[in-house]
Copies of this chain bind each other. A is one copy, B any other.
Amino acid sequence: MTIECGTERIAGCQFNLSVMSDDFINIILGSLDTTDMSKVWRDTDDVTTCVRGRVEHVFDVVKAVYLHAAKTGKHVEMSGTFSIGCPGDASGDTYMDTDAERMNAANTIGINQKAGCKFALYPMNTTKYMDVIYEQIDLSKARGVTVSPSHYSTRLDGEVNDIFNAMEEAFVSVQEAVSHTTMTFTISANSPSSRK
């Protein structure tokens, strides 16, 4: 396998959204419906939602889904895996032929919502993966978030918009250096534990 840096590759994210409320169905479906998914391929089943397309649109959509659920004030968690360059994820997609304008930016940038998030980057297909992580990720430049270490992950605290921006920058930076990158994350807002 050759590393084709600079080639635009399809990105994706498989995630699940959990709303800790008896009203979870309306909030989850409302959040998915409110989000503009016109620039991504999308599939939802009983376990996860998967979106695929250009990397900026994948992040735009996942962030919007989370914000529209979290802004209800309910305790909302999302876990997922971003992926780019997966050898098993090659064909059948027309969603790369689109421009870079983020469809959900205008509707989400004004939403103020604090959260805590743990994420981990996995550069695949390399024996220098720890070097890649250390060299490519510079979270000191991440604006608006507090960064702290956690087991198997890095923790970010701050506004949801800033957290997703920091994760996107780290993901894009790492994927430029390796052929296949995945990134896991779990983000939590309005937890009774964090209200203390």
Contacts and interface: CB of A to CB of B under 8 A. Distances in A.
A22 B25 contact: no
Contacts of A89: 151-152
Interface string A1-38: 10000000000101010111110110000000000000
Given A20-B24, A47-B116, A79-B186, 16 more contacts: A14-B118, A14-B150, A16-B79, A16-B188, A18-B18, A18-B20, A20-B21, A25-B192, A46-B116, A46-B191, A47-B118, A48-B150, A52-B151, A81-B120, A125-B126, A126-B127
A73 to B, nearest CB: 13
A182 interface: yes
Interface in A25-76: 25, 43, 45-48, 50, 52, 75
B81 A152 contact: yes
Contacts of A79: 16, 79-80, 186
Interface in A120-147: 120, 122, 124-127, 129-130
A130 to B, nearest CB: 6
Nearest to A75: B24
A155 B45 CA distance: 11
9 contacts: A14-B150, A14-B152, A18-B18, A20-B21, A20-B22, A21-B24, A45-B116, A47-B155, A124-B129
A129 B118 contact: no
A20 B22 CA distance: 6
